[in-house]
């Protein structure tokens, strides 16, 4: 029996490469793929994969918030983050929202396979390159802090979602239609985000979203 894997990455060529790799690992099969976080949440609900390979920087809904929703709504599914981001804050946030593994895109193929096998057993996996960079003390701190929620986060999940869409250049009306809420509600959330962050312009919001990894530098 093969364990089903869902691929979530906004680059088609990356998904194609991952599909070929994962399909070659004994005991695993790709059962679906998507290019944005919102679709990843929906497909997880519909397909019930054993594991989701999750990119962080995706349009519409980023990988961190998608991971949080998946681990809350589909706790039987394990999420492995597969990202180019190597900074400690990304690793910490990934584990805090429920990811079971973190692999960087420069890792060796066998590291990805190891991550999948660890996740299948319910064990946590961290890229060997990151383990060497962070060191045992930092890893111990991350282990203590993971799974504790996001109480220190100044924004709610909805506000983070709206922040990402603003940073992507979406209009207020477009955001309202995408989220099925009123224009007034979007404007209220936008004002609250600016107030909480102490930021008064879209350029500042975009820079903040980039620091969080909600959008890439090309937005």
Bridge-based pairing state of the strands 101-104 and 78-83: parallel
- pLDDT tens readout for residues 79-122: 999 999 888 888 888 998 899 999 999 999 999 999 999 999 99
For the chain, give every domain's residue range: 3-145, 157-212
CATH 3.40.50.2300 fits 3-145, yes or no: yes
More confident residue, 143 or 65: 65
Cα(83)–Cα(159) distance, integer angstroms: 23
CA-closest candidate to residue 129, choices 157, 152, 101, 108: 108
- For the chain, the maximum distance between any two Cα atoms, rounded to a whole number of angstroms, is 54
Q: What percent of the chain has pLDDT over 90?
A: 63
- pLDDT tens readout for residues 155-213: 887 888 899 899 989 999 999 998 889 999 999 999 999 998 999 899 999 988 887 77
Among the residue ranges 10-19, 28-37, 125-134, 182-191, the one predicted with the least confidence is 125-134
CA-closest candidate to residue 55, choices 2, 3, 17, 25: 17
The pLDDT, as a whole number, for residue 133 is: 76
Residue carrying structure tokens 């909805």: 158
The radius of gyration of the chain from alpha carbons, rounded to an integer in Å, stands at 17
CA-closest candidate to residue 191, choices 202, 206, 181: 202
Cα(17)–Cα(29) distance, integer angstroms: 13
> Which residues are 42's β-sheet partners?
none
Domain 157-212: which CATH number of 1.10.10.10, 2.60.40.1120, 3.40.1280.10, 2.30.300.10: 1.10.10.10
Contact 58, 9 (CB under 8 A): yes
DSSP state of 3: E
């Amino acid at each position: 029996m093969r364990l089903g894997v869902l691929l979530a990455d906004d680059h088609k060529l990356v998904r194609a490469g991952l599909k070929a790799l994962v399909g070659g690992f004994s005991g695993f099969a790709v059962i679906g793929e998507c290019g944005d976080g919102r679709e990843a949440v929906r497909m997880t609900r519909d397909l019930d994969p054993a594991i989701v390979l999750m990119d962080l920087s995706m349009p519409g809904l980023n990988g961190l918030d998608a991971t949080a929703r998946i681990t809350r709504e589909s706790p039987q599914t394990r999420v492995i983050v597969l990202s180019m981001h190597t900074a400690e804050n990304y690793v910490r946030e990934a584990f805090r929202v429920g990811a079971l593994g973190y692999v960087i895109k420069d890792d060796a193929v066998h590291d990805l396979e190891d991550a999948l096998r660890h996740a299948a057993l319910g064990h946590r996996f961290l890229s060997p390159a990151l383990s060497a960079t962070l060191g045992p003390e930092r890893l111990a701190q991350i282990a203590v802090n993971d799974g504790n929620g996001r109480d220190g986060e100044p924004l709610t999940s909805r506000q983070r979602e709206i922040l990402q869409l603003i940073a992507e250049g979406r209009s207020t009306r477009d955001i309202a239609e995408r989220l099925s809420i009123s224009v007034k509600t979007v404007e209220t959330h936008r004002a609250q985000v600016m107030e909480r962050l102490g930021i008064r312009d879209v350029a500042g919001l975009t820079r903040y979203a980039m620091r969080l990894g909600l959008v890439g530098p090309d937005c």
